[in-house]
Amino acid sequence: MPAGFILLLLFMITSLGSLKAQQSTEDQLANMFFQDKDYEKAAALYEKLFEQKPASYYYTYLIFCYLEINDLKRAEKLVRNQMKLEPRSLKYAVDLGYIYSRLDEPGKAQKQYDDILKNLPPEKNQIIEVANAFLSRRETDLAQKTYLKGRQLLAGEYPFNLEMAFMYQSAGDINNMVEEYLNYIEFDLSKLGYVQDRLQDALANDQDGTKNDIFRKALLRRIQKYPDKTYYSELMIWYSVQQKDFDLGFTQAKSLDRRLGEDGKRVYDLAKLCVTNNVYDIAEEAFRYVISKGQESPYYVNSRIELLNVSYLRITSNYKHTQEDVTRLEQEYLKSLSDLGTNNGTVNILRNLAHLYAFYSNKTNEAITLLEDAIKSPGLMAQLVAGCKLELADIYLFTGEVWEATLLYSQVDKAYKNDPLGHEAKFRNARLSYFIGEFGWAKAQLDVLKAATSKLIANDAMELSLLIGDNLGEDTTGAGLKVLARAELLEYQNKDDLALVVLDSLPNIPMSTGLLDDMVYRKALIAMKHGEFSRADSLFSKVVELYPTEILADKALFKAAETNELHLGNKQRAMDLYQELLTKYPGSLYADDARKRFRALRGDPVN
C-alpha cells in the first residue's frame, strides 16, 4: 500500500476522532445548558449539532428550545425542513399544527390536524407515532381520534386497546380503561397474563374502592352476558384472589368446574390458597365440594387430608376452641386413618393426631405409641419418619423426658445436616438446651443456624442467640436467664399458671433488669394462649412503650398489630401499629410482613 495513502488514511481517522470528541463535548455542554433552562445557549449548540448530524434526538431538543424561547419562526422552518426530509413521518405534521396554534392561527392548526387524520395510513407504527405526537402536545382528544381511526383502518388486525387503556388510565377514566383492557383480552387471549399485570397496577392505591368496584361490575356484566367465554370467569377468580375475596373466587371456580365438567382441580387450588390466607370457612367449603365429586376425583384423598388439616389449624392457631372441638377432630382423624391407612400420604394426619393427643388432650401415652408405631412402619419415606421423630421429641420434652428428646433431635440433625429438616432439629435441640440452662452450648448451635436457608429458622435462631448473649454479658451467672428459660419451658408444657408465677419472680433476681421486656412479652403470649386478646394487646404495647430500644420492641409491636387485625377486629388500630413499626423500626425483620399486611388492610391488590 502506498505510503501517501496510509498517511491520508491516518489523517482522516484522526480528524474523525477529533470531530467526534468535539461533538461529544458540545453535546454535553448543550445538555448542561438545557438542564439549566438556558434555552438560548442550548439552541445555538443543538443547531450546530443537528447540522452535523440531523438525528431525531437533536431535533427533539432543538424544537423544544425554540418553543421555550418562543422563536416560532425558526421552529416552523425546522419542522418544514424535517417534513421534506421525512415526508412519511406524520409526527412532524403534528408539530407544525402545534406551532400554528402557538402562532394564534387556530384555523390553520385545525386544518393541519384534520389533514393528518384524513391521510392517516393503515400502518400500526405510524398510527402509534402520530398518537404519541399528539399526546406530547397535550392533544389527548386528537390522540384518541387517531387510535379510533387506526382501529377502523386496520379492521381487526390491531385494535389499539392497550394504548387507549393507558390514555384513559392517565386521564382517570377508569370505566373506559377497564372496557379497553377487557376488549383486548377478546382480541388476544394469549395476553391475559399481561393484562392482569397492567390491571394490578391500574387498580392499586384505591383507598375508597371506586376503581375496583368499577372493574368488578364490568367483569360481572361480561360474565353474565357471555357465559360461554370462560376466560372472564378465570379473570374474576384471579381478581378475587388479588382482593382476598375468596367467597367470590370460590363461587366462580365452582361454576367453571361444573360448566366445564372438570375434576375439581381449580376448586382444590383455590382452597389451598384460602388455607394459606387463614380463610378457613371457604377452604372447608371448597374441600368438601371436591370430596362430594366422589373417589373418582384425583383430588379426593388430598381434599380429605387437607380438610382435616384445616380443622387442625383452626384449633392450633385459634385460641378460642373447646375440648369438644378437639375430641371431635381426633375422632375424624381416627376415621380417616381407618379409611385411608397409614402411608406416605397420611403420615401427617398421624403426626397431627399425636400432637392433639399430647398437647391438647393430655393423652401423651397414646401419642407416643402412635408415633413409635409410625416410625417402625415399613415403606414410609425417610423424611416422613424424621418428621415423626421430631414430633415425638417434642412430646418427650413436653413430658419432661429431656434426654429422650435430645437423642431424637440429634438423630434428625445428623441425618439431615444441610437440609431444612436438619436445621429445624438443630434449632429445637438448641432451644431444649436453653430451657435446661445449658446456655453456652445452645448459643453455639444457634450461631450456626443464623446462616440457615430457612428465613424463619435463621430469625428465630438469631433472636434466641441475642437473648442469651446479651444477658450472659450482663450477668455471667445467668441467674435471671435461668428463671426466664424455666418459665418458657413451663409455658411449653402447658403449665401456664406456674409459668406466670416464675415470671413474676424475675424482678427480684439481681442483674435481671435486661429481661423485664421478655417477662412482659411472655405474659402477653400466655394471655393470647387463653384468648385474652385485649390483655395481650395491652402487654405487647407495654413492651413497646417501656422498652422501645430492646430487642423485642419491634416484634411486640408487630404482635400487637396482628392481634388487633386477626383477633380484635380493629382494622384501623392494626394499620396504625403496622405503620408505626415501619416508621420506628424500618430495619426490622418484621418490616416486610408489616408492609404487606398494611397494604392488604388498605385494600391494595396482592402482589
CA torsion 168-172-178-179 (nearest 10°) is -50
Mean pLDDT of 458-471: 90
pLDDT of residue 118: 92
Question: What cell was used for 575?
Answer: 394499620
Query: Is residue 6 predicted with pLDDT exceeding 50?
Result: no
Of 413, 416, 420, 418, give the one whose Cα is nearest residue 393. Answer: 413
pLDDT digits (tens, 9 = 90+) for 33-45: 888 888 888 888 8
Contact 214, 174 (CB under 8 A): yes
Read off the pLDDT of each residue in 191-195 and give the average, rounded to a whole number: 93
Q: At 605, is the pLDDT very low, low, confident or very high (cuts 50, 70, 90)? A: low
107-131 mean pLDDT? 92
Residue 563 lies in a domain: yes
**Amino acid at site 501:** V
Does residue 554 fall inside a structural domain?
A: yes
pLDDT of residue 455 exceeding 80, the answer is: no
Cα distance between residue 534 and residue 528, in whole Å: 9
Tell me what pLDDT residue 83 has: 87
Q: If pLDDT is split at 50, 70 and 90, which confidence band does 16 have?
A: very low
Averaged pLDDT of the chain: 89
**Res 230: pLDDT:** 92
Average pLDDT for 51-71: 86
Is a pLDDT exceeding 60 seen at residue 9? no
Taking residues 350-371, what's their average pLDDT? 95
Reported as a single tens digit per residue, the pLDDT across 227-251 is: 889 999 999 999 999 888 999 999 9
Asked if the structure places residue 4 within a domain, the reply is no
Kindly report the CATH number assigned to the domain that includes residue 565.
Answer: 1.25.40.10
User: Has residue 267 been placed in a domain?
Assistant: no
Sequential DSSP letters for 50-106 = HHH---HHHHHHHHHHHHHTT-HHHHHHHHHHHHHH-TT-THHHHHHHHHHHHTT-H
Average pLDDT over residues 38-62: 86
* Residue 55 pLDDT level (bands cut at 50, 70, 90): confident
Q: What is the pLDDT of residue 18?
A: 44
Name the least confident of 51-65, 143-157, 212-226, 578-592.
51-65
In terms of C-beta density within 10 A (0-12 exposed, 13-18 middle, 19 or more buried), how is residue 451 classed? Answer: exposed
Long-range contacts of 415-422 (CB under 8 A, 24+ apart): 415/382, 415/386, 416/383, 416/386, 420/452, 420/453, 420/454, 420/457, 421/383, 421/386, 421/387, 421/390
Q: Which has the higher per-residue pLDDT, 45 or 487?
A: 487
Residue 514 lies in a domain: yes
Q: Please give the average per-residue pLDDT across 396-407, as a whole number.
A: 97
- Residue 286: inside a domain, yes or no? no
347, 387 Cβ separation under 8 angstroms: yes
- Whether 565 shows a pLDDT value over 90: the answer reads yes
Residues 513-559: pLDDT tens digits?
889 999 999 999 999 999 899 999 999 999 999 999 998 999 999 99
Number of structural domains found in the chain: 1
Is residue 330 over pLDDT 80? Answer: yes
Least Cα distance to 432 among 369, 488, 361 occurs for 488
Banded pLDDT at 450 (limits 50, 70, 90): confident
Q: Residue 590's domain spans which residues?
A: 500-602
Average pLDDT rounded to a whole number, residues 169-192? 93
> What is the four-CA torsion angle of 117, 120, 124, 127, rounded to 10 degrees?
-40
Q: What mean pLDDT comes out for the span 438-447?
A: 94
Assess if residue 485 is contained within a domain. Answer: no
Which pLDDT does position 1 carry in this prediction?
46
Asked if 282 contacts 247 with a C-beta cutoff of 8 angstroms, the reply is: yes
Q: What is the CA radius of gyration of the chain?
A: 35
* CA contacts within 13 A on the Cβ side of 149: 21
Share of the chain above pLDDT 90, in %: 64
Residue 387: count other Cβ atoms within 10 Å of its Cβ: 22
> Does the pLDDT at position 22 exceed 70?
no
Q: Which of 32-36, 123-127, 503-507, 579-583 has the lowest mean pLDDT?
A: 32-36
Angle, helices 72-85 vs 56-68, to 10°: value is 160
pLDDT score of 475? 67
* Confidence band, pLDDT 50/70/90 cuts, at residue 4: very low
| Residue 286, CA distances (Å) to 202, 224, 230, 270 in order | 30, 23, 20, 8
